[in-house]
Structure 1
Amino acid sequence: MEITGLTWGLTIALIVGLLAFDYFAHVRKAHTPTIREAAVWSGVYIGIALLFGLVFFAFGDTQHAVEYYTGYILEKALSVDNLFVFLVIMASFRVPRDYQQKVLLFGITFALISRTVFILLGAAVISVWSDVFYLFGIVLLIVAGNQLKGELAGDSAEDEADNVMVRLAKRFLPASDSFDGDRLFTVENGKKVMTPMLLVMVAIGATDILFAFDSIPAIFGVTQEAYIVFTATAFSLMGLRQLYFLIDGLLDRLVYLSYGLSAILAFIGVKLILHALHENNLSFINDGQNVSVVEIPTVLSLIVVVGILVLTVLVSLASPKGQALRTLQNAEKFSHRFTQLDPQAPLEERRAAAERMDTWTAKAEQVDQKWRDKLLDHKDRYSQIIRTAHETRLSDPDSADPRGVSEAIVRQAGPRV
């Protein structure tokens, strides 16, 4: 398949059109997408990405098709990991739920812009200095090692919310402590000041630039064709906002995702170094001659990337930590739903909600204490959400068996912290 200027132009127009549609059709009015809305649009964007890869097959370009799908899966996995950091940042700024998708879309747009710049720079450097693959490979190995080291040390991503860009913005520009809808600026005491909405976007924008340092070298390890790198990266970012609301809660349960991504980055790093050795021009390595090494084919890369991701997801969901997190999350989720019930809701609906809450709360009580201590966000034994729900339950004489578990929860939780 010949990649011409027209091909680039039509592709960029498609990407910009999809972004514009997202801005005008989905986030103009602040709201939290329903599961159905998120599922439909996630399917649409993933479908577009998969169909795009078939274009290469239609032109008989099997090699680029395999490279595209490998790059897409790799970038999608890295994007999901980045999305988790975005959510940590939003939680640290306490972004209201209805405004989160606007922040996510900004993050996706900025990521697309920053990565496009890095792709063009990377392609330009590769064209004049092929040995840059040594550098790319070393960078990925360092990133993989640091990510693994951070996971083993239990480092938190919350520091991303207080990066240097945010500190500079707070220092030199007046900022409000409270949101004013989804506005970036507001007026306080007659002065125009930033809102936390702008600060969280600054934090995400600065973090996006850091993400590009591992994302772009990784996909250049799959293909050196700039067009494939761009399209795989762009389509992996499109629909990421809807995907978050679709798998809301599942992200937290992928407790070993970082380990899997570390393995993938290390694998791609080794692949890049092998490729660099195969096309070596450095005088201090084999006298500037090519080194006869085995290169890793793209098809094998695809199999390894998919295999590691599948294994990571399965191990995460089946692990004691993953199951404990699922149980505690469901206890909080169904407890919250119970407190949000309309007081005039039918008796059967209130009883059904109470039973679901009791079921998951009872399971939460069986979770090993070490996981409760590690996974619960509160100092007391039970989260405030669960405590509030069961206190509400005690005052509801119509719910099925209103005592029992509820009294035990309130008694064991002790006084409010």
Structure 2
Amino acid sequence: MTVSPLVWVLTLAGILALLAFDYYFHVRSAHVPTLREAAVWSCVYVGIALLFGLGCFVFGGTATGSEYFAGYITEKALSVDNLFVFLIIMTSFRVPRENQQKVLLFGIVFSLIARAGFIFLGSALLNAFSWVFYLFGVTLLLTAGNMLKPQTEESHSAQNLVVRISRRLFRTTDDFDGDRLFTRIDGRRMMTPMVLVMAAIAGTDLMFALDSIPAIFGLTQNVFIVFTATAFSLLGLRQLYFLLDGLLDRLIYLSFGLAAILAFIGAKLILHALHENNLPFVNGGEHVDVAEISTGLSLLVILVVLVVTIMGSLFSTRGRTQTAMAHIRRDAAAYLDSEYTADAGERERIFLRLLAARDHINALGPEARKQVKNEADLMELCRRVADSHAAAHAEHEIRPSL
């Protein structure tokens, strides 16, 4: 499919307009999105992506439409897995709940810019050197191998190389000042911890791009489709974060499904590289007559693997138990942190979620209870939160009479 400069300009203008709309109508005024708000706007952004895909079918044909949807679904699944790391980073830095939207929007914008650069660089390399298909294929196979380890809260750490370097380079205040990057203390202009959070998000975005761009190039080499599928998978990611909050820990098998998808696409890339081969030490520099995997089959495999792994995660006792443990640890830390949020409704929400997680662990049978680590510590956290909650309500009832 040949794309005219006008279509490129209109597409870029539309993406920028959506980002501007997101900022001015949702992010500029710091608040905690309600579940309804997150659900409605997640559906809106997914709907826009689906309509664009239908346009690809109508104006580009079946092959182009299939390539777009295969790329969009793969990138969306990878972005959901990346949200877990964003959650750990913001929890580690104690980012106030109201200000997390700004961090996420920054991450989306930075990711778009970084991935656009990788896309055009990758396209140029693939057009100039066919052996780059081998490189991308091997990269995806190695990434798939690394993802076979379960992705739990303990397997991630916000204190990565980027964060450690940022801490050394940037001297920041101890506390946040709303969502500002800079504040004044004793007349001196200083950076807030928000700078470190955004540096950590930017660093992880770059690492994610190294995985996702080879993956989508394994499904299509059409730069317009690669760019738009990637862009639409990122748009709406902020809303999806708040919608899936509470389910991210539960998707315990998603990393296995993504590993299978990346390995499949890696194999597809290597087969394509063999078909286009011109390396002198492989078959004398001649192409190798191998079967190639169609885009339609790729789309089917991606959908089946994702459905199986997501449903398996949601209905597994292990997934629910792991979610309960993660909720107690994070929700207790958030509730006991006076700076986490000033929204009484948000504090009540995490309190009720913590109680539900506690009740789940208490109701486990002997075999399932073996999965629970440090149960005594978890129950102690629940007790501390319950005491704090009771004290807060008692103080609220006394105040009107004073």
Q: What TM-score bracket applies, with the shorter chain setting the length?
A: 0.7 to 0.9
Q: Answer yes or no: is 1:8 the counterpart of 2:8.
A: yes
| Distance (Å, rounded) in 1 between the aligned partners of 2:7 and 2:159 | 41
1:291 deviation in Å? Answer: 0.5
Secondary structure in structure 1 of the residue aligned to 2:371: helix
Q: State the match for 1:67 in structure 2.
A: 67
Alpha-carbon contact 1:221-1:271 (below 8 Å) kept: yes
1:19 deviation in Å? Answer: 0.6
| Distance (Å, rounded) in 1 between the aligned partners of 2:226 and 2:26 | 27
Q: Of residues 277, 293, 311 in structure 2, which corresponds to 1:280?
A: 277
Q: State the match for 2:91 in structure 1.
A: 91
| Distance (Å, rounded) in 2 between the aligned partners of 1:395 and 1:74 | 45
| Distance (Å, rounded) in 1 between the aligned partners of 2:130 and 2:146 | 26
1:57 deviation in Å? Answer: 2.1
| Distance (Å, rounded) in 2 between the aligned partners of 1:33 and 1:381 | 28
Q: Answer yes or no: is 1:244 the counterpart of 2:241.
A: yes
Alpha-carbon contact 1:173-1:193 (below 8 Å) kept: no
Cα pair distance change 1:251/1:221, threshold 3 Å: same
1:324 deviation in Å? Answer: 1.6
| Distance (Å, rounded) in 2 between the aligned partners of 1:59 and 1:183 | 44
| Structure 1: 5+ residue stretches without partners | 340-349, 398-417
Cα pair distance change 1:243/1:73, threshold 3 Å: same
Q: Please show how residues 138-153 of structure 1 align to structure 2 within 5 Å.
A: 138-148=138-148, 150-151=149-150
Q: Answer yes or no: is 1:221 the counterpart of 2:218.
A: yes
Q: State the match for 2:297 in structure 1.
A: 300
Q: State the match for 1:270 in structure 2.
A: 267
| Distance (Å, rounded) in 2 between the aligned partners of 1:54 and 1:253 | 32
1:173 deviation in Å? Answer: 3.0
Q: Please show how residues 354-369 of structure 1 align to structure 2 within 5 Å.
A: 361-367=358-364, 368-369=368-369
Cα pair distance change 1:249/1:386, threshold 3 Å: farther
Cα pair distance change 1:373/1:331, threshold 3 Å: closer
Q: State the match for 1:76 in structure 2.
A: 76
| Distance (Å, rounded) in 1 between the aligned partners of 2:152 and 2:52 | 41
| Distance (Å, rounded) in 2 between the aligned partners of 1:249 and 1:371 | 19
CA-to-aligned-CA distance 1:62-89 (integer Å, 9 cap, x gap): 1100000000000000111111111111
Alpha-carbon contact 2:133-2:270 (below 8 Å) kept: yes
Which amino acid counterpart does residue 157 of structure 1 have in structure 2? H
| Distance (Å, rounded) in 2 between the aligned partners of 1:355 and 1:104 | 25
| Distance (Å, rounded) in 2 between the aligned partners of 1:98 and 1:247 | 17
CA-to-aligned-CA distance 1:40-71 (integer Å, 9 cap, x gap): 11111000000001112222511100000000
Secondary structure in structure 2 of the residue aligned to 1:151: coil
1:192 deviation in Å? Answer: 2.1
1:171 deviation in Å? Answer: 2.0
Cα pair distance change 1:357/1:198, threshold 3 Å: closer
Cα pair distance change 1:359/1:2, threshold 3 Å: closer
Which amino acid counterpart does residue 116 of structure 2 have in structure 1? T
1:214 deviation in Å? Answer: 0.6
Secondary structure in structure 1 of the residue aligned to 2:183: strand
1:248 deviation in Å? Answer: 1.4
Q: State the match for 2:399 in structure 1.
A: none
Cα pair distance change 1:358/1:269, threshold 3 Å: closer
Alpha-carbon contact 2:328-2:382 (below 8 Å) kept: no
Secondary structure in structure 1 of the residue aligned to 2:279: coil
| Distance (Å, rounded) in 2 between the aligned partners of 1:313 and 1:200 | 29
Q: Please show how residues 101-250 of structure 1 align to structure 2 within 5 Å.
A: 101-148=101-148, 150-151=149-150, 156-158=155-157, 161-250=158-247
Identity %: 56
Cα pair distance change 1:358/1:121, threshold 3 Å: closer
For CA contacts below 8 A with separation 6 or more, give which structure has more relative contact order.
Answer: 2
Q: State the match for 2:400 in structure 1.
A: none
Q: Please show how residues 43-58 of structure 1 align to structure 2 within 5 Å.
A: 43-58=43-58
Alpha-carbon contact 2:151-2:255 (below 8 Å) kept: no
Q: What TM-score do the two structures reach when normalised by structure 2?
A: 0.86
Q: State the match for 2:341 in structure 1.
A: none
Cα pair distance change 1:256/1:123, threshold 3 Å: same
Q: Please show how residues 397-408 of structure 1 align to structure 2 within 5 Å.
A: none
| Distance (Å, rounded) in 1 between the aligned partners of 2:352 and 2:220 | 53
Which amino acid counterpart does residue 191 of structure 1 have in structure 2? R
Cα pair distance change 1:163/1:192, threshold 3 Å: farther
Q: State the match for 1:314 in structure 2.
A: 311
Cα pair distance change 1:327/1:278, threshold 3 Å: same
RMSD: 3.1
Secondary structure in structure 2 of the residue aligned to 1:187: strand
1:363 deviation in Å? Answer: 3.6
Which amino acid counterpart does residue 170 of structure 1 have in structure 2? R
Alpha-carbon contact 1:335-1:389 (below 8 Å) kept: no
**Count of aligned residue pairs for this structure pair:** 379
Larger-Rg structure: 1
1:259 deviation in Å? Answer: 1.2
Q: What TM-score do the two structures reach when normalised by structure 1?
A: 0.83
Which amino acid counterpart does residue 208 of structure 2 have in structure 1? F
Cα pair distance change 1:203/1:326, threshold 3 Å: closer
Alpha-carbon contact 1:331-1:364 (below 8 Å) kept: no
